[in-house]
Amino acid sequence: QVQLQESGPGLVRPSGTLSLTCVVSGGSMITDNWWSWLRQSPDKGLEWIGEIFHSGSTNFNPSLRSRLTMSMDRSRNQFSMNLTSVTAADTAIYYCARGEGIVLMVYGLWGPGHLVTVSS
């Protein structure tokens, strides 16, 4: 049974970089699925951040594209995101999730979520 688990700092300073990793356990990442990041905050609700395929292809939310990178470590079965120049508006619960298919961009598998606070 595939499971996802986010990890990373819970507090990031303003103007710093938010770095998160999602470990995939119980199955391979080399599948016909997009591996995604989403976040949730009281102000913005649920927001799709971006996704990465095992080939390395990525798609990003245009509102975050200039600050966002994603990568995948197939040997460790994990994928990561980096968001630079963070502000308080980036405070949110961050989720990693698996898209259900190459074109079926709904999320049937989620990590438990990781709260990131941007504050000095």
Q: How far is the CB of 13 from another protein (least distance, A)?
A: 27
Minimum distance from residue 88 beta carbon to another protein (Å)? 20
For residue 96, the minimal CB distance to another protein (Å) is: 10
Q: Which residue has the tokens 């508006």?
A: 89
| Among the listed residues 78, 84, 77, the one whose alpha carbon sits nearest the alpha carbon of residue 118 | 84
Q: Name the residue with tokens 């079965």.
A: 77
Closer of 29 and 34 to another protein (Cβ): 34
Structure tokens at 103: 């074109």
- Nearer to another protein by Cβ, of 65 and 74: the residue is 65
CA–CA gap between residue 92 and residue 113 (Å, rounded): 10
Summarize as ranges the residues that interact with another protein (CB under 8 A): 45-48, 50-51, 59-63, 95, 97, 100, 104-108, 110-113
